[in-house]
Structure 1
Amino acid sequence: MKQITAKEVETLINEGKKIDIIDVREDFEVATGKIPGAVHIPIGYIEFRMDELDKSKEYIIVCHSGARSGAVTRFLEGHGFNATNMSGGMVEWEGEIE
């Protein structure tokens, strides 16, 4: 499973890179803030919303600490998606939130 740190994601954003982030936390967690531009798909809905994703894109998967996003990353990889887990999750995030 590919991994990326929160600091590396922040650097990509600050450099103006176009990245696709999926936040798999629950609604109450996202209500406290998410990475700007991240798409919120709660972990329990990933299986049912895969048709919204594009296999030609790379997705960075985010949760609170990196465990749930790791499981989602492995799940998506198993279905042919290019996914990378943001290790440390939002606990490690020091950048802007919306």
Structure 2
Amino acid sequence: MQILNIVLYVIVIAIILYFVGSWSYYAFIGRRMNGSISQENFESTMRKAQIVDLREKGQFDTKHILGARNLPYSQFKYVSGELRPDLPVYLYDERKNVCVRAAIKLQKQGFTDVKWLEDRFSNWEGKTKSNKKD
């Protein structure tokens, strides 16, 4: 019985270390990439960029930044070809790590100007649109 408890503790600790390590890794890479921009900078320069909402379609339809296109991260490797590498790309999601992972993929594809919203989308104060029909 005691060995079973030790094994369970080790498994729980391993899972916690994995999630903390993953979060820390993408936070470090994100800082190194220096792609995080404030809401004010995002909004003032977004007219020159391709704005990408990485959330799922249902969330996008409920509310999204005006002018954004929906390319869910879960399908990102299949739909990222819709973006032009010669134009800046602005990413946003509820989780910064998702934006960093998408930015890494885009940079591997040759994109040179990839930024992401520093805040969560739920903190967005700029113009939004809804695709839901009442």
TM-score (norm 1): 0.84
d(CA) in 1 for partners of 2:106, 2:45: 22
Percentage identity across paired residues of the two chains? 22
After superposing on structure 2, the runs of 4+ consecutive aligned residues of structure 1 that deviate more than 6 Å are none
Task: Tell me how far 1:95 sits from its aligned partner.
Answer: 0.7
d(CA) in 2 for partners of 1:58, 1:12: 10
> What are the superposed Cα offsets for residues 26-66 of structure 1, whole Å, 9 maximum, x if unpaired?
12221221111101000011111122111111100111132
Change (3 A) 1:65 1:94: farther
Q: Is 1:94 aligned to 2:94, yes or no?
A: no
Structure 2, unaligned runs of 5 or more: 1-32, 130-134
Select between 85-94 and 52-61 the one with higher mean Cα deviation.
85-94
Structure 1, unaligned runs of 5 or more: none
Q: Is 1:4 aligned to 2:34, yes or no?
A: no
Q: Is 1:84 aligned to 2:107, yes or no?
A: no
d(CA) in 2 for partners of 1:84, 1:30: 19
Q: Is 1:65 aligned to 2:125, yes or no?
A: no
SS in 1 for 2:91: strand
Task: Tell me how far 1:91 sits from its aligned partner.
Answer: 2.6
Q: Whose radius of gyration is greater, 1 or 2?
A: 2
TM-score (norm 2): 0.63
User: Is the helix fraction higher in 1 or 2?
Assistant: 2
**Number of matched residues?**
95
Q: Is 1:25 aligned to 2:58, yes or no?
A: no
User: Is the strand fraction higher in 1 or 2?
Assistant: 1
Letter in 2 for 1:24: L
The question of whether the paired residues in 1 share the 8 Å contact of 2:50 and 2:83 is answered with no
SS in 1 for 2:65: coil
